[in-house]
Structure 1
Amino acid sequence: MKRALLALLAVIVIVPLAVFAYQTMQHPDRAYPAQPVADKAAQLQRGAYLARAGDCMACHTARGGEPYAGGRGIATPFGDVVAPNITPDAKTGIGDWSADDFWRALHNGRGRDGRFLYPVFPYTSYTKVSREDSDAMYAWLRTVAPVQQQNREHALRFPYNQRWLLAGWRALYFKPGVYEPVAAKPADWNRGAYLVQGLGHCAACHSSRNALGATSARGDLAGGLIPISNWYAPALTPDAATGLGDWQVADLAALLKTGVSGRSAVYGPMAEVVRQSLQYLHDDDVQAMAVYLKSLPQHAPPPAAEAVTRDTERLLAQGGKLYDKHCVECHGAEGAGKPPAYPRLAGNNGIVASSVNPIRMVLNGGYPPSTAGNPRPYGMPPYGPEMNNDEVAAVVTYIRMSWGNRGAPVGPGEVSRYRTVPLE
């Protein structure tokens, strides 16, 4: 018995130490040395474009703060992670980082001092980025105005504040590797895959996460609730009811570029992504992303229609009257909308896949992003002050179960949960 306990204790101690040592000694970043650059001006231009494509400013700029000076707290289920200063300030930024240091962070999730980085920084996606593109981003960031702003400590709960435990997380959920083009696919497909899987880090929101914060293996880009922010990022797969279904490539490209299309409009966190990042991408890159996304495999069969109970009938009748009173003028009697000003509700995957987004929109209203392709977006007024929880539940149920939509009915308890959640 004593020997068994000693053996168990040895396993408990030795295995974690071995994992930590293995993770610490691994340096896959060294397999990709920097290459000489002939045209420095072109590299800087490319770096600025790529930093915009990766939406680096979104996390590394605090509201009202200097660009890229960090300080923005990012809420997670494990506590707050504070984005660092990535301006070229030598004391508080990355001024004393080399191109190799920057590449190590993107490709291998390790800081200049070798410490494991928390995966809120999406190196699990950025590892797909090529060394050439990493060096271009680094070169451009060196031209940003340096800001001396001390980095704040993360506010993570125990045991998540024990950084060494990331060795185990990485062993389970992270495999570094630059994107390798698929020879059988055309150039635009490969370009789209590179952007979606890498700099775009679309899986960070559009995939569900497990209890340890890793994206679920159940389905790439199959949709998921964004932790803390309480917005649902719908599936980008071709699932008929909850994904892109019969969307055309042109519809999806328009949505990514302008925030609106003939099929839908973006709100919440995705509106920020379009406004700050995607609208600035070249048309061929946006097209390539759409081509790739439309090629993804389907993950789930269409959901069965919900059984209509007496309670559901009551909700539908009440919701229909509320819809006729408040919604029909913009969205139409058949939910067809008036795109791109007023999005369609019939066949809208963001409405069917989850009740969260339609509840929040009815309660708080909102606007798509203002972009070059849609400079004066039409907004949705808030009905939270006007409708009680039962009424919001009724109209959302009506929208989710009408015109061929196969969503489930919504109860007033669900509405109450999101009534006090801010829109942003």
Structure 2
Amino acid sequence: MRTILTGLAVAGLALCSAVAGMALAAEPSPELIAYGKTLVEAGDCAGCHTADPARPFAGGKRIDTPFGAIYAPNLTPDRDTGIGAWTDADFVRAVRNGIAPDGSNYYPAFPYPFFTKMTKDDTLAIRAYLGTLAPVVSRNKPPELRWPFGYRGLMRIWNAMYFKPGLFEPDQGKSAAWNRGGYLVTGLGHCGACHTPKNYFGADKSAQALSGSKVGGWYAPRLDGAARTGLQSWSAQDIAEYLQSGRNAKSHAGGPMAEVIVNSTSKMSEADVRAIAVYLKSLPPARRETIVTPPDEAEMKAGQVVYAKLCIACHEADGSGAPRIYPPLPGNALLQSNNPSSTLRIILDGAHTVTTPRAPNTGEMPGYAKQLSDAEIAAVTNYIRNSWGNAGLLVTPAQVAKARMREADGE
């Protein structure tokens, strides 16, 4: 009997040792964690999941949508309020299919329609990095959505209509850089979440991918090859420089894009940023550009008066500015966008040049909301959108007044 018990004890010790060995083997390697960190930065996860910089990834940040507000959840490894108790399968299903561990559906403000293109290995690398964060107790806030959008069950219908799960499919006829850029743009980087127009139900108009869309009080411009309002006039180097530094010889980043550059693209590897540039430069226009009728002579003269008084000192009489310090206006794609929201936001509120390790010098433009009337702001906007070869749709004082109201509402 003693022999049998001794044998069982030895077998038990051997089993425990084996299990312990398996547990040790399951620990993510430093290389995997480091790779996961690069993916988290490429996906700009902190941009949505950090409300308090002192508590990174603890969630709580309010995300406004056309249907109401959603609060980003806690991604730290706290077992009660974060993802510490999740299994790998839970995490993969949440990220790539938008389904929580309890089986409920996430709203597509969480961009799982893009993340579905990620590989399982990359998804688990992200989990490995998140598992190294300091656990933070931060309970998730319920969404504040208008009726009937608060019923998560409706997401099953939305998914059936608009969600297409599946990995990014490489094009064997394209270069490795193009395929890497496509993987980042259409998947992990979820560029279309802002830059693709949406239908009435908040789903992407896939036939118009990356052809520009409204984002709160701003406008995310076209990333396709449109001549006047897209990236046709930008080189791949222009795109890479913009993503790495927040500025180039053609434009400066502002609004939500400035945050993306600071938190995400400026931290990405040279190879990944250039891959994005290669992919974007290959995109044809997703829709035709609107034919523009120039403003009348009186409107242009009224705008020129305002420009000569307030703008010419920095942007010069010919609009050339000082590239990478004061953005040039001729040929500026965002300036000529059909939707003038970003231009109006900058004129009303002013702008601060985004600073990055590659471009640490600062710049500032004052806001003119209090100094100029709606008619004056409309006039100067029309002037700069239709001078020096530019062509932009007419902006009315009513549009300026609406932009002021959005500012007053905190949007």
What's the CA shift for 1:38? 9.8
Residues 1:235 and 2:222 aligned together: yes
Secondary structure, aligned partner of 1:345:
coil
What's the CA shift for 1:39? 7.2
What's the CA shift for 1:37? 7.7
Residues 1:264 and 2:248 aligned together: no
User: What does residue 6 of structure 2 align with?
Assistant: none
What's the CA shift for 1:63? 3.6
Equivalent residues in 2 for 1:237-256, closer than 5 Å: 237-256=224-243
Question: 2:348 pairs with 347, 360, 363, which one?
Answer: 363
Distance in 1 (alpha carbons) for counterparts of 2:149 and 2:387: 44
User: What does residue 88 of structure 2 align with?
Assistant: 99
Distance in 1 (alpha carbons) for counterparts of 2:108 and 2:234: 32
Distance in 2 (alpha carbons) for counterparts of 1:338 and 1:54: 32
Residues 1:188 and 2:177 aligned together: yes
Secondary structure, aligned partner of 2:274:
helix
Q: Percent identity?
A: 43
Residues 1:295 and 2:279 aligned together: no
Letter of the structure 2 residue corresponding to residue 288 of structure 1: A
Runs of 4+ aligned structure 1 residues displaced above 4 Å come to 36-39
What's the CA shift for 1:62? 1.1
Letter of the structure 2 residue corresponding to residue 331 of structure 1: H
Distance in 2 (alpha carbons) for counterparts of 1:73 and 1:355: 25
Letter of the structure 2 residue corresponding to residue 62 of structure 1: A
Residues 1:386 and 2:371 aligned together: yes
User: What does residue 137 of structure 1 align with?
Assistant: 126
Distance in 2 (alpha carbons) for counterparts of 1:246 and 1:197: 22
Question: 2:298 pairs with 289, 314, 322, which one?
Answer: 314
What's the CA shift for 1:302? 4.2
CA contact (8 A) 2:294 2:391 kept: no
Query: Using a 3 Å threshold, how does the CA distance of structure 1 residues 38 and 292 change in structure 2: closer, same or farther?
Result: farther
Distance in 2 (alpha carbons) for counterparts of 1:191 and 1:133: 13
User: What does residue 406 of structure 2 align with?
Assistant: 421
Distance in 2 (alpha carbons) for counterparts of 1:63 and 1:317: 47
Distance in 2 (alpha carbons) for counterparts of 1:124 and 1:369: 29
TM-score, with length taken from structure 2: 0.90
Query: Using a 3 Å threshold, how does the CA distance of structure 1 residues 181 and 163 change in structure 2: closer, same or farther?
Result: same
Secondary structure, aligned partner of 2:205:
coil
Question: 2:167 pairs with 174, 178, 182, which one?
Answer: 178
What's the CA shift for 1:415? 0.8
Residues 1:166 and 2:155 aligned together: yes
**CA offsets per residue over residues 20-53 of structure 1, 9 Å max, x none?**
xxxxxxxxxxxxxxxx989711100001111111
Residues 1:152 and 2:137 aligned together: no
What's the CA shift for 1:365? 0.5
Q: How many residues align?
A: 384
Residues 1:55 and 2:52 aligned together: no
| Structure 2 unaligned residues grouped into runs of 5+ | 1-24
User: What does residue 382 of structure 2 align with?
Assistant: 397
Query: Using a 3 Å threshold, how does the CA distance of structure 1 residues 348 and 208 change in structure 2: closer, same or farther?
Result: same
Secondary structure, aligned partner of 2:70:
strand
Distance in 1 (alpha carbons) for counterparts of 2:39 and 2:68: 29
CA contact (8 A) 2:210 2:286 kept: no
User: What does residue 82 of structure 1 align with?
Assistant: 71
Letter of the structure 2 residue corresponding to residue 55 of structure 1: D
User: What does residue 391 of structure 2 align with?
Assistant: 406
Distance in 2 (alpha carbons) for counterparts of 1:269 and 1:232: 9
What's the CA shift for 1:178? 1.2
Query: Using a 3 Å threshold, how does the CA distance of structure 1 residues 37 and 199 change in structure 2: closer, same or farther?
Result: farther
Letter of the structure 2 residue corresponding to residue 313 of structure 1: E
Computed over aligned residues only, the root mean square deviation of the Cα atoms, in angstroms, reads 1.6
Question: 2:103 pairs with 114, 136, 142, which one?
Answer: 114
**CA offsets per residue over residues 124-159 of structure 1, 9 Å max, x none?**
001111111111110110110001111111111221
Equivalent residues in 2 for 1:304-343, closer than 5 Å: 304-308=291-295, 312-343=296-327
Letter of the structure 2 residue corresponding to residue 188 of structure 1: A
Distance in 2 (alpha carbons) for counterparts of 1:55 and 1:132: 18
Question: 1:197 pairs with 186, 196, 210, which one?
Answer: 186
Secondary structure, aligned partner of 1:255:
helix
Distance in 2 (alpha carbons) for counterparts of 1:300 and 1:170: 26
Letter of the structure 2 residue corresponding to residue 177 of structure 1: G
Distance in 2 (alpha carbons) for counterparts of 1:344 and 1:168: 46
Name which one, 1 or 2, has greater alpha-carbon Rg: 2
| Structure 1 unaligned residues grouped into runs of 5+ | 1-35
Distance in 1 (alpha carbons) for counterparts of 2:345 and 2:307: 16
Deviates more, 1:259-268 or 1:378-387: 378-387
CA contact (8 A) 1:303 1:406 kept: no
CA contact (8 A) 2:196 2:209 kept: yes
Distance in 2 (alpha carbons) for counterparts of 1:88 and 1:63: 17
Distance in 2 (alpha carbons) for counterparts of 1:49 and 1:387: 45
